[in-house]
Amino acid sequence: MGTTQLETVPEPKYWHLKTVLSEALDSEFTVGEILPNERDLAARFGVARATLRQALEQLELEGRLQRRRGVGTTVAPPRVGVAVAPARHTWPGAAGDDWQPVDAVESDTVPAAVARLLETAAGDRVHIVRRSRVTQGRPLAAELLYVPAAVVPGCQETGVLNGPARAHAVLQELQSLELEGQDRTVELGSARAEDAKQLDRLPGAPVLVVTTRYVSGGRTTAVAVSTYRADTCRLTFGESDAVALLAG
Amino acid sequence: MGTTQLETVPEPKYWHLKTVLSEALDSEFTVGEILPNERDLAARFGVARATLRQALEQLELEGRLQRRRGVGTTVAPPRVGVAVAPARHTWPGAAGDDWQPVDAVESDTVPAAVARLLETAAGDRVHIVRRSRVTQGRPLAAELLYVPAAVVPGCQETGVLNGPARAHAVLQELQSLELEGQDRTVELGSARAEDAKQLDRLPGAPVLVVTTRYVSGGRTTAVAVSTYRADTCRLTFGESDAVALLAG
DNA sequence: TAGTGGTCTAGACCACTAT
DNA sequence: TAGTGGTCTAGACCACTAG
């Protein structure tokens, strides 16, 4: 046969579209610039809107685009480098940490995965401190910090305190304990409705879930579940924070 | 008004569907079990197939499901905990590391982000070592390790070696250097065509991209870009590897 | 109120896998 | 060859934002 078929596996349209758009973003657009709307773009490329959207979704996942309902699609700035593991181990809420306490509640039900780490039994009272991390006015991450009531006995009477003050009380008492170590896991998740609101995203948006285990007195003393916007954040670990400068 | 509208924001169908399916997975299915096909499932829930697929995609993103074309949709096992930052800093390829060298090439073009970290100029020769990480017969991650030729002068004449041997030669010479430190970043990406094949996924599949910077002699000596399957992997950091046991 | 992205439908065909 | 998930279409309506 004289026919040459270099691509035995034809590239899907949305994949090719993504490549074309990606190159266009590099060469013809600047950060913050607004793209034509989806209907126009689809028409221009001769595809259905759903196909165009598949390409846009990928680019948004990679942090290249930002889409907002009622507004439009804009070119996203490079991802923000976010230091996750400080050089020195510290309790959450220690001086200089980038989180802002939001409020705290006491509960006797925690997610199964958290209960397993804390080795708490069903019914054990646990403080749940909500915190949020913001940079340049934009929400980066939401966190739930789980501290068994038995770990911070001084916080028995915090019921009278209001939100932030209560969170402060729990965090403050933690500082008095000796922190022996910590470890973390990172995995992909999708934002729960509550997190999504806090992160200014729609429910289901992709997030990087960082689970931190704080060890003190030979056992897991607290667990933090931090939910970072996957589209805008690049998590940084390690001694040198200089790498946070890396772009694109 | 006597009307009570608790949900002013009606939940999208696919979101509700995802919740229902998620609970069904917990209670009525076992790991590895095969689900009804998409057309049947869509009919059963009274939605279009596209809507059903939106829910399945979310569940796959969260590592609850595994879908394979031509085969079906199965219940995924819990994510595998993968140690990313060993307790002691070592060069890639050191004894006991979980990676298998695949091959190596020499090139004078590297991704812009890598060139920035390595501080190489356009045209500088760089060894690119491909490695892969496998557990229980399943591919977890693919890696490209970039080492400037100037860093491993003993590897000038490796052109005659075949793939794996060449990779070994570069890795071996690295061990002789003193490693001063390393740091890492983690971000969300989508699999390039080449990675996708190595990871047994389709192009565009969500991946966790770990960029490791190796520091020696006061400067960045090597950069590794490791691409982990986001659906099956949970990355673990820190001194204690015990956390790798955490499930679900 | 006009315009945007988000959701949803009811089809169709294709690529792949196992039999 | 039959059955699966993957891609694609051409519509429709909804929720949200901004002028």
Residues B61 and B94 in one domain: no
CB B86 within 8 A of CB B112: no
* pLDDT, position B9: 56
Percent of chain B with pLDDT over 90: 73
Per-residue pLDDT band for A214 (boundaries 50, 70, 90) equals very high
| Chain A residues inside the 8 Å CB shell of B208 | 186-188
Shortest Cα–Cα distance, B19 to chain A (Å)? 11
Helices B38-45 and B49-61, interaxial angle, to 10°?
110
Which positions on strand D lie below 7 Å from a protein C-beta?
A: 2-12, 14-18
pLDDT above 70 covers a percentage of chain A that reads 90
Q: Is the pLDDT of residue B159 over 90?
A: no
Quick one: which H or E segment has residue B144? strand B138-148
Cα–Cα nearest to A128, from A177, A194, A197: A194
Whether residue A243 is predicted with pLDDT greater than 80 in this model: the reply is no
The reported pLDDT for the residue numbered B160 is 64
**B248 pLDDT tier (thresholds 50, 70, 90):** very low
B174 and B135 in a single domain? The answer is yes
3-state secondary structure of B132: strand
Nearest CB neighbour to B58, from listed A204, A230, A237: A204
Q: How far apart are CA A36 and CA A28, in angstroms?
A: 13
In whole angstroms, give the CA distance from residue A53 to residue A38: 7
- In the predicted structure, residue A136 carries a pLDDT above the cut 90: no
List beta partners, residue A56: none
Least confident of A47-51, A117-121, B84-88, B139-143: B84-88
SS3 category, B145: strand
- Report which of B31, B130, B135 is spatially closest to residue B83, judged by C-alpha positions: B135
Same domain, B115 and B179: yes
Token pair recorded at residue A32? 């913050």
pLDDT in tens, B62-117: 999 999 999 999 999 999 999 998 777 889 999 888 899 999 999 999 999 999 99
Residue owning tokens 């047994």: B200
Q: Are residues A204 and A108 in the same domain?
A: yes
B46 touches strand C (CB under 7 A): yes
d(CA B219, CA B125): 17
Q: Is residue B203 part of a domain?
A: yes
Residue whose C-alpha is closest to residue A113's, from A231, A235, A225: A225
My answer on whether A65 and A116 are in the same domain is: no
User: Does residue B68 reach within 7 angstroms of strand D, measured from its CB?
Assistant: yes
Q: Are A130 and A107 in contact (CB under 8 A)?
A: no
Instruction: Report CA(B34)–C1'(C18) in Å, whole number.
Output: 15
Look at residue A236 in the predicted model and tell me its pLDDT. Answer: 95
CATH number of domain containing A62: 1.10.10.10
Same domain, A65 and A91: no
pLDDT at A88: 76
C-beta neighbour count of A121 within 10 angstroms: 8
**pLDDT tens readout for residues B2-49:** 333 334 457 899 999 999 999 999 999 999 999 999 999 999 999 999
pLDDT over threshold 90, residue B155: no
Amino acid at B123: G
Picking from B227, B240, B161, B221, the residue whose alpha carbon sits closest to that of residue B199 is: B227
B238 falls in which pLDDT band (50, 70, 90)?
Answer: confident
**Pick from A134, A141, A109, A135: which is nearest to A122 by CA?**
A109
Q: What is the C-alpha to C-alpha distance for residues A40 and A22, in angstroms, rounded to an integer?
A: 17
Cα separation, B185 vs A236, whole angstroms: 4
| Confidence tier at A26 by pLDDT (50, 70, 90) | very high
- Position B161: which residue type? L
Residue A5 pLDDT more than 80? no
Last residue of a domain, one of A75, A95, A116: A75
pLDDT(B156) > 90: no
Burial A73-106 (b: 16+ CB within 10 A, else e): bbbbeebbbbebbeeeebbbbeeeeebebeebeb
Is nucleic acid strand C under 7 Å from B14's C-beta? Answer: yes
| Contact between A118 and A146 (Cβ < 8 Å) | yes
pLDDT, position B117: 95
The verdict on B58 and B122 lying in the same domain is no
Predicted confidence at residue B27, as pLDDT, reads 94
Establish if B1 belongs to a structural domain: no
Segment B210-215 mean pLDDT: 96
Please count the CA atoms within 13 angstroms of the CA of B203 that sit on its side-chain side. Answer: 14
> In chain C, which nucleotides are within 7 Å of a protein Cβ?
2-12, 14-18
Of all residues in chain A, what percent carry a pLDDT higher than 90? 73
Q: Which domain holds residue A67?
A: 13-75
Q: Which of A75, A94, A120 is the last residue of a domain?
A: A75
Mean pLDDT of chain A: 88
pLDDT score recorded for residue A135: 86
pLDDT average, residue stretch B134-138: 84
Q: Is B20 a domain residue?
A: yes
State the average pLDDT over residues A123-145.
Answer: 92
Rounded mean pLDDT, B153-173: 81
Whether pLDDT at A245 is above 50:
no
Whether the beta carbon of B9 falls within 7 A of nucleic chain D: the reply is yes
Flag if A239 and B15 touch (Cβ within 8 Å).
no
In this predicted structure, the answer to whether residue A248 has a pLDDT above a threshold of 90 is: no
**Strand bridging mode A65-68 / A72-75:** antiparallel
Residue A223: what pLDDT?
97
**Shared-domain flag, residues B22 and B125:** no
User: What is the percentage of chain B residues whose pLDDT exceeds 70?
Assistant: 90
Q: How far apart are CA B4 and CA B32, in angstroms?
A: 43
Mean pLDDT of A3-29: 80
Would A50 be classed as within a structural domain? Answer: yes
Helix, coil or strand: residue B73: strand
Which of the residues B65, B119, B183 would you substitute to probe the A interface, choosing the one with the greatest number of A C-beta atoms within 10 Å? B183
Is the residue at A145 inside a domain?
yes
A108 inside domain: yes
SS3 A43: helix
Q: Tally Cβ neighbours within 10 Å of residue A158.
A: 20
Question: Which pair of tokens denotes residue B60?
Answer: 């796959």
Please give the protein residue whose CA is closest to the C1' of the nucleotide C8.
B51
Give mean pLDDT, residues A212-237: 94
Which of A72-81, A146-155, B193-202, B231-240 is most confident?
A72-81
B5-19 CB burial, b ≥16 within 10 A, e <16 = eeeeeeeebbbebbe
A134 touches chain B (CB under 8 A): no
The CATH number for A156's domain is 3.40.1410.10
Q: Tell whether A7 is covered by a domain.
A: no
Which residues are within 8 A (CB) of B61 and not within 5 positions of it... i.e. 6 or more apart?
A188, A190, A206, B206, B230, B231
Average pLDDT, chain B: 88
Tally the domains of chain A.
Answer: 2
Do A65 and A73 meet the contact criterion of CB atoms below 8 Å apart?
yes
CA of A133 to C1' of C13 (A): 47
**B36, B55, B75: which is the final residue of a domain?**
B75
Does residue A140 lie in a domain region?
A: yes
Task: Please state whether strand C lies within 7 Å of residue A88 at its CB atom.
Answer: no
B94 and B147 belong to one structural domain? yes
Looking at the fold, whether A64 and A104 belong to one and the same domain comes out as: no
pLDDT score at A221 = 95
Residues A114 and A217 occupy one common structural domain: yes
- Residue at the smallest CA–C1' distance to nucleotide C2: A70
Q: Per-residue pLDDT for B212 more than 90?
A: yes
Query: For residue B125, is pLDDT > 80?
Result: yes
How distant, in Å, are the alpha carbons of A21, A59, B123, B187 from that of A25?
6, 10, 25, 20
| One domain, residues A93 and A193 | yes
Q: Residue B6's pLDDT is what?
A: 39
